[in-house]
């Protein structure tokens, strides 16, 4: 395996992309449960209000942020021919993603833990 910053960014992009697809499917399943009536929907909502799902929401936030920022990084590199800045832009994107995930994830966790 050929490991570079490019490979790490690609790996994270793939994993976060897969996570987003899984989220979309789960989201459709949850919303689709409304077709079975209010009771069915409430039951499904009961599952997604569990602590495990609250944790997964933070992971979802991380996936959305990283995937989006890495995509913007690639667009910038391609549009402005910045391939020689690819590594510094990767680390910058990673730093911005981390800050945003912490800024969004910590309040989400505090809110979730306060509920239980």
Partner 1 sequence: MATNNTKEATIRVQRYNPDVDKKPYFEEFKLDVGADTTILDALEEVKGEQDGTVTFRRSCRHAICGSCAMNVNGSNMLVCNRRVEEVLDGKGTVTIKPLPYLPIIKDLVIDRTSFWEQYLRIKPWLVPPDDIPEKEFRMSAEEVKALHDAEQCIMCGACYSACTVVGMGKTYIGPHALLKATLRVMDPRDSATDERLLEISGSDGAYRCHTIFNCIDACPKNLNPTEAIETLRMLAIKRSSFVEARKERQKTLNDPIKH
Measured CA to CA, the distance from residue 57 to residue 48 in angstroms comes to 10
Residue 43, C-beta contacts closer than 8 angstroms, at least 6 positions apart: 33
Residue 21 or 113 having the CB closest to partner 1: 21
Residue 1, interface with partner 1 (CB under 8 A)?
yes
- Cβ atoms of residues 70 and 12 within 8 Å: yes
Q: What's the closest the beta carbon of residue 2 comes to partner 1, in angstroms?
A: 5
Q: What's the closest the beta carbon of residue 34 comes to partner 1, in angstroms?
A: 38
Q: Tokens 């009536």 map to which residue? A: 37
Residue 17 or 104 having the CB closest to partner 1: 17
Q: Which of residues 51-110 bind partner 1 (CB under 8 A)?
A: 74, 77-78, 81, 83, 86
- Two structure tokens written together for 25: 């499917």
Query: C-alpha distances in angstroms, 77 versus 29, 83, 89?
Result: 37, 6, 9
Residue 7, interface with partner 1 (CB under 8 A)?
yes
The residues of the shown chain that bind partner 1, judged by CB under 8 A, are: 1-7, 9-10, 74, 77-78, 81, 83, 86
């Amino acid at each position: 395996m050929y490991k570079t910053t490019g490979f790490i960014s690609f790996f994270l992009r793939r994993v976060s992309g897969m996570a987003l697809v899984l989220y979309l499917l789960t989201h459709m399943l949850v919303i689709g449960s409304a077709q079975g009536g209010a009771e069915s929907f409430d039951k499904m909502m009961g599952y997604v209000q569990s602590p495990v799902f609250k944790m997964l929401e933070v992971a979802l936030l991380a996936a959305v942020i990283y995937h989006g920022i890495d995509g913007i990084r690639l667009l910038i590199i391609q549009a402005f021919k910045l391939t020689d800045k690819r590594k510094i832009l990767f680390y910058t994107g990673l730093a911005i993603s981390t800050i945003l995930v912490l800024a969004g994830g910590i309040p989400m966790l505090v809110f979730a833990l306060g509920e239980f």
